[in-house]
Structure 1
Amino acid sequence: MPVTALDTSADTGTGRGKDAGKKGRKRWLAAPAVLAGFCALSVALFWDGWTDLGTTIYGGSDAVLFSWYLAWTPYALAHGLDPFVTHFLNAPDGVNIMWSTGVPLLGVLAAPITVLAGPLVAFQVLTTLAPALSGWVMFLVMRRWSAAFPAAAAGLLYGFSPYVIGASYGHLHLSFALFPPILLLLLDDLLIRQRRAARTGALLGVAVAAQALVSEEVLATSAVVAIIAIAILCVQHRDQIRLRAAAAAGGLAVCAAVATVLLAWPLYIQFFGPQRVHGSIQPSDIAVSDLLTFVTPTPLQAIGPDFAVRESLRFSGNAVEVSGYFGLPLLALLAFIALRLRRDPLVALCGPLFTAVAVLSLGPHLHLGGHVTGIPLPWRLLELGPVLHNALPSRLSLYLVLAAGAMIAVWLDQARPPRLRAVTGVVTAAALVPLVPATLLPFTTVTPRFFTGPQVDNLPTATTALVVPYPYPQQNIAMLWQAQTGFRFTMPGCYCTVPDRNGRSSFHPEVDPLNSALIAVATGQRTAQAALGQPGLAAAFDHYQLNAIILGPTDHHDELVTLLTTLAGAPGRYVDGVDLWLLNSAPGRS
C-alpha cells in the first residue's frame, strides 16, 4: 500500500528519521526507569496502606468486595468449583459473579499473593500497581509517536488522572486501565499501518477477552470510543476507506473469533447461568459529568479553592465518580495544541475525539451546577441499547485523559529548539499542577482472631452460618471474614449483584423479616424487643437452615446478642473476639 498521510515510519519509534538502533537502546533504558518512577509515586500515594499492610485499605465496602473476589477465584479453581458462580454468599441461592465485577483475571494473577499473605494484601498490591501500570502502558504506547520524556508525561497524566485516583477508592476493575492504550496501539496497527491483519486481530481478541475478565464496562465504553474514533478517521480520510476496509474487516473478524472462543464459558454463565439478572444495574442520569465538572476541582485534588470544592459536592453521583476535572489551564492548553498541530494525524484525531467523548460523559440530560436541566443529550440514545445502560457516563473521563495525554505527548515531542522545549515543558507542568491528587483517606478493617485462628475449626464442615453484622452494601465486613477463613462456611447476605423476585438487578438479597431486623438493630433504628415482634421473623430464621451464628464487633452489640439469643433458643459463647452459637442443626451434632 502506498504511504499516506496516516502512515508513519516503521524504522523508528517516533517516525521522524532518527537512528533505529540508537532509538531502540534508549527505549529499553527508558522503560524500566519510567516504571520504577511511576511505582514510587504510587507507593507514596498509598503509603498508609503499606505502613499497616493487611489491615488498611482504600474504598470501604467496595474494597472489601474486591478483596473477597481476589480470594474467591484461586479458592474456586483449587477446589474444582466454577469461578463464575458461588454459593458461599447469598445462601441458599448463590451469586452469578459475572454480574458482579468479579475481576477473575486479576484474581488469577494475584493468586500467589492472596494465598501467601491474604486477600487484603493482594488488594493493596493491585491497588498500588493500577495507576503505575496504567501510566506505564500509556507511556509504552505513546513511544510510537514521541520520545521518552513526552511519552512519560502522557503516562503520568493518564495513570494518575482524577479518573484513576477516584477509581482507586475500591473500584479495582476500573483503576486497572491498561486496555484503552493497548486498544489504541492495536487499532493503529490494524487500521493505519495495517501490519499483519490476522496477527493483529488475534492479539486484539486476546486483549478484549482479558479486559472482559477485568471490567466489561470498560470494554463496552472502549468499543464506543473506538467506533467514534474510526468515524472521525473515515471523515478525515475518505479516500483511504476502500483501500483499507478489507484488511481491517478481516482483522476485526479474527478478533471477534478469538474473543468468542476465550469468553465462551464466562459469557454463557453470565447470560444463561444461575442467578442472572436483567434490567439496569445502575440508576440513570446520576453518575454523569456536570458541565462545570471539567473546570471545578473536587476533594480528590490537593489544590483548589474551598468554594470550588464545595461547588463540586453539589454535582450528582458519588464524589469519587466526579472524575472529569481538567482545569482551565489544561483545557486551554489542549485547545491550543488542537489548533496549533491540527495537521498532525494523532492530534487531528484526538481533538475531535476529546470533544465527542466529553459530550457523551454529560449523560442523557445536561446537568449544570448540580441541577438537571432536562436538555437531552446523545448518551440518551446509547443507554437505550444493551450493555451501555449499565455504564456510567462520568467514567468516560478515562478516554478524555487518554486523548489529552496523546496530544500533550505530540506537542512536547515536536518542540525542537532547546529553549522552546523548556518553555513547553514548563507550560505543560503548570497546566498539570491543578490535577495533583490529594492524600487518599484509608479504611481500617478489624478481623476478630476467631476467623484467622484455630477456633474457627469449631465450625463443622459444610456449615451455613449467619454472620453479623449482616452483609449488605453499607456494611459487608462479614464477606472479608469469610474469605479470611478460607471459605470455611457459606452465609446469607452479600454486597453483590443478585436478582430480586422479578429477576431485576439488586445490590443485596431480597429484604425479609430476618435481614431487615438485623440491619435495623445494628444501625440503632430498632431495639431487639421491637424486632422480635416483627411478623415472620422466626419463619425467616428457620428458612436458612442455619448451623451456626457468629456475632462479630459491631455497634449495638448487646441488643444484637438479645435478638440472636432469642432466635437461637439458647445463649452463645464468647470465642476469640466473637459470640458463637452452634445450633442443633449443625452437621455432626444431635
Structure 2
Amino acid sequence: MAGYVAGAFALFWRLWADVDRRYLVDGGSDQNQWEWFFAVTARSVARQDDLLFTTLQNHPDGVNLMANTVMLGLSVPLTPVTLTFGAPVTWALVLTFGLAGTAAGWYRFVRRHLNGSRTAAGVAGGFCAFAPPMVSHANAHPNFVVLFVIPFIVGRLVRLARDRRTLRDGAVLGLLGAYQIYIGEEPLLLTAIGVGVFAVAYAVLRPRVAYAVAGRLAGGLGIAVLVFAPLVAYPLHHQFFGRQSYDGLIHGPWGNDLLQLTAFARQSLAGHIAEPGPLAASPTEQNAFFGLPLVVLVAMLLVWLRRLVVVQALAVVIAAAVLLSLGPEIMLNGRPTGWSGPWLWASRLPLLESVVESRLTMICVPAIGLLLALGADRAGSLTAALPPASRRWAGAACCAVLAEALLPISPKPLAAEDRPETPRFITEGTWRRYVGEGRTLVPVPPPNGGESTALRWQVQAGFGFNLPEGYFVGPYGPEREGVYGAPPRPTSILLRRARDHNDVPAVGKTQRAELQADLAYWRADAVVLGPHRRQDVLYETLVLLLGPGRFEDGAWVWDVRPLTRETAR
C-alpha cells in the first residue's frame, strides 16, 4: 500500500511542488473546472444550499450539477479540506489517493477472490491504477482515476455467485453502486458492460455452473436494486429531467485507431509527444496505447492459460472492449478501412450515445490486470516445483518478461506549470466596488471549455459574483442535446473571434445593441479584462463597444451598471 501511495506521489510530484500555483498543463481547462466543482460543493454544504444546481456559473440560466461530474461522494466529505486548505489541495489529494486507492482495491480483489499471492496481487493492483489509460485521465478526470469502489462491486458479485448470504451481499452491492453513482457514473456503466460480457461468456462456457448460481445472483441483484433505487432516485431524476438537463452528449466519432493499441502513450517511459496523425490523441484521452510488448504478453498468457474458464471469459471481455472502442468505422493509420465497427449499432442504445467510444478500452485494464495476476501465480507455482539450482534462473526469467512488458509503459511524472497570476482586482477585493450582491462580473472573453481562468477568479473571490456562460455540460438547441458550455451569445462570439483571429472586428450599432442586450441578460455590473495573451486586441474591441476602460489593480474594468439599468427600464 505504501508503494502505491509513493507511486502516486511520484506521478504528481510536480503538482505537489506548489499545489496552489501549479497546473497540470496537459489537462487543458479541466483543472479549473474540477477545482470549481470542489469549491462550489463545499460552499453549498457550508451554506446549506442546493448541491444539485447553481446559478453562480452560466448566470442566470444556471448549471445542473448532477448532470456534471461534481463527484459528490468525495467533494461533500472533503468539504472541511476544501474550506480549510483550498480547492487545489482537494484536487491534488483526490488524484493522488484516488490512484493509490484504486490500486489497493484491485490488490484486495486478487488476494481475496482469486487467492493470488502478494506478488501477483501487487502486479495486478499496480497495473490497474497506473496503466496508460489511467495515467492519461489523471491529467484531468478524477472520475476515471478514483475507481477504488469498482473492485468491491465486482467482488460482491463474485460473493453473490459463490455464497448463500444473498440478503447481506445484495444490500452491500446496492450501497456500493449508489456510492459509485456519486463518484462517477460513466465508470460504473463501463463496469456494467465489462461484467455483463464476462457473465455471458462464462455462462456459455459453463452453462451448468451459470444455471446453479443464476437464482442467487438474480435474488441478490433484486435486493441491490431495492437498496440502490431510493438512494439515487431523486438526484438521477434531477439529472435527466431537472432544470438545465440535457438529452445525450454531442461528440464526434472518437474511436481508437488500430495502431494506438500497440503504440506508447506520451506519458509512458517509451512514449513521446506524437506528431499529427493517428497517434496524436488528446493527452487526456489516450485510452489504448498499451504498447506492443504488453499486447504480445497478453496474447501469450491467453494461449498459455487457455484451459482456465476465467481466462477464456476475460479474453472475450478484452476482445469485445477493443472492438467497441474502434468506433463506428475502423481506422488504420488514420485511414478508414471501410469496415463498420460494432459501435455503429451499440451507440444507439440509451446512455451509450453519450460515451466516448475510445474509453471502452478502459474495460481492458482490470481484465489485463487479472490476467497478469493469474499468469504470475502460475509461473510462480511452476518455478517453485523446479530444482533449487534452476529455480533462481526461472524466477529471473519471469521477472524479465514482466519488466519487458510493463517497464516501457510505466508512467513519467505529469507535466505541471505555474498558473497565470490572478489580478489584484480579484484577489484584493477591488471588484466589490463594481459588482453588487447577486450580480454578474463579465470576464473577457466569457469562460468556456477552451478558456476557464475566470472560474479560478470566482473561487478566489469567494463566489462573491456570478459568471456568464462557463465550462460545464448543458443543453443546446430545441433537442436539448448536451454540449460543453452555454450556447454563446453574440457578444461572446464577437470577443472570441477577436481573440482567435488576433484582429479587431468591425463594431457598429448592431454589435453595441447586442452587447447591451447581453449585459442585461447576464445581469452584469462590470466587464473585466485581466492579463491575456491577446490583451491589446481585446482591449481595442472593448473600446469600440464600451469606450475607454479604467485600469485598476492589474485589470481593465468597465462599469456597465448605468447601461444595464437603462436597458432594464
TM-score by length of 1: 0.87
Which structure 1 segments of 5+ residues have no match?
Answer: 1-34
Equivalent position of 1:384 in the other structure? 348
Provide the secondary structure at the position in 1 that maps to 2:450. Answer: coil
Partner residue, 1:12: none
1:463-489: per-residue Cα shift (whole Å, max 9, x none)?
222122420111011012112222111
Moved more, 152-161 or 288-297: 288-297
CA distance in 2, matches of 1:354, 1:558: 53
Question: What is the letter of the counterpart of residue 177 of structure 2?
Answer: V
Match for 1:445 among 419, 432, 446?
419
**Following the alignment from structure 1 to structure 2, what is the Cα–Cα distance between the partners of residues 109 and 281?**
32
Distance 1:304 1:436 in 2: 10
Match of 2:209 among 234, 237, 240: 240
- Residue aligning to 1:20: none
Q: Does 1:212 align with 2:173?
A: no
Q: Distance in 2 between matches of 1:161 and 1:214?
A: 20
Q: Which residue of 2 aligns with 1:4?
A: none
1:39-188 matched pairs, under 5 angstroms: 39-58=5-24, 59-144=27-112, 145=114, 146-188=116-158
Q: Which amino acid aligns with 1:49?
A: L
Q: 8 Å contact 2:261–2:290 — kept in the other structure?
A: yes
Secondary structure of the 1:424 match is helix
Which of 473, 484, 487 is 2:449 aligned to?
473
2:342 equivalent to 1:354: no
1:579 corresponds in structure 2 to: 557
- Give CA-to-partner distance per residue, 1:204-246, whole Å, 9 cap, x none: 2122122222222111111111110110110121112332122
Q: Deviations over 1:141-182 (max 9, x none)?
A: 111220111101111111111111100121121122224322
Change (3 A) 1:450 1:366: same
Q: Which residue of 1 aligns with 2:163?
A: 194
Distance across 2 between alignment mates of 1:316 and 1:377: 21
Percent identity of paired positions between Structure 1 and Structure 2: 29
Q: Secondary structure at the residue paired with 2:527?
A: strand
Specify the alignment match of 1:6 in structure 2: none
Match of 1:176, SS?
coil
Deviations 1:178-206 (A, max 9, x none): 24322321111112x13412221222212
Give the 5 Å matches for 1:504-523.
504-523=481-500
1:296 and 2:263 are equivalent in the alignment = yes
Output the CA distance in 2 between the equivalents of 1:133 and 1:402.
Answer: 14
Paired residues of 2:67 and 2:473 also in contact (CA < 8 A): yes
Distance 1:576 1:126, change over 3 A: same
Alpha-carbon separation, structure 1, partners of 2:309 and 2:187? 25
- The corresponding residue for 1:396 is 360
Matching residue's letter, 2:268: Q
Question: Deviations for 1:291-332, whole angstroms, at most 9, x for unmatched residues?
Answer: 1211112322221589xx548x42475243232122232222
- More divergent stretch after superposition (149-158 vs 73-82): 73-82
Paired letter, 1:510 = P
Unaligned runs of 5+ residues in structure 2 are 385-390
Check 1:386–1:500 CA distance in 2 against 1; reply closer, same or farther (3 A cut): same
Report what 1:543 is aligned to. Answer: 521
The structural deviation recorded for 1:390 is: 0.8
C-alpha displacement at 1:80, in angstroms?
2.3
Tell me, in whole angstroms, the C-alpha distance in 1 between the residues paired with 2:280 and 2:15: 29
Distance 1:531 1:207 in 2: 58
Counterpart-to-counterpart distance in 1, 2:323 and 2:150: 19
Aligned to 1:32: none
3-state SS of 2:524 partner: coil
Determine which of 329, 344, 350 is the counterpart of 2:293.
329
Structure-2 change in CA distance of 1:555 and 1:310 (3 Å) = closer
Q: Could you tell me which residue of structure 1 aligns to residue 4 of structure 2?
A: 38
**CA-to-partner distance for each residue in 1:511-565, whole Å, 9 max, x for gaps?**
2221112212333443165477636333223332312223222133244344445
Q: Are residues 1:433 and 2:411 paired?
A: no
Compared with structure 1, are the counterparts of its residues 377 and 426 closer, same or farther at alpha carbon in structure 2 (3 Å cutoff)?
same
Separation in 1, partners of 2:403, 2:165: 39
Q: CA deviation at 1:569?
A: 6.2
CA contact (8 A) 2:440 2:526 kept: yes
The DSSP-based 3-state class of the residue aligned with 2:76 is helix
Contact persistence 2:469–2:488 (CA under 8 A): no
Distance 1:266 1:127 in 2: 25
Which residue type is aligned with residue 41 of structure 1? Answer: G
- What is the CA distance between 1:123 and its match in structure 2? 1.1
Separation in 2 of the partners of 1:560 and 1:469? 8
SS in 2 for 1:374: strand
SS of the equivalent of 1:303 reads coil
Q: What is the CA distance between 1:79 and its match in structure 2?
A: 1.7
Q: Matched residues in 2 for 1:175 and 1:332: separation?
A: 26
Provide the secondary structure at the position in 2 that maps to 1:44: helix
- Give the TM-score of the pair, scaled to structure 2: 0.90
Aligned-residue RMSD, C-alpha: 2.5
1:409 Cα offset (Å): 0.9
Asked if 1:554 is matched to 2:532, the reply is yes
- 1:29-84: CA deviations, max 9, x gaps? xxxxxx21111111111111111211112212011111111111111122222211
Q: How many residues align?
A: 548
Greater CA drift, 348-357 or 202-211: 348-357
Whether the aligned pair in 1 keeps the contact of 2:13 and 2:413 (CA below 8 Å) is no
With 67-76 and 296-305 compared, the bigger mean Cα shift is at 296-305
Q: Which amino acid in 2 is paired with 1:125? A: L
**Whole-angstrom distance in 2 between the partners of 1:582 and 1:305:** 49
Q: Which amino acid aligns with 2:174?
A: G
* Counterpart Cα distance in 1 of 2:110 and 2:427: 46
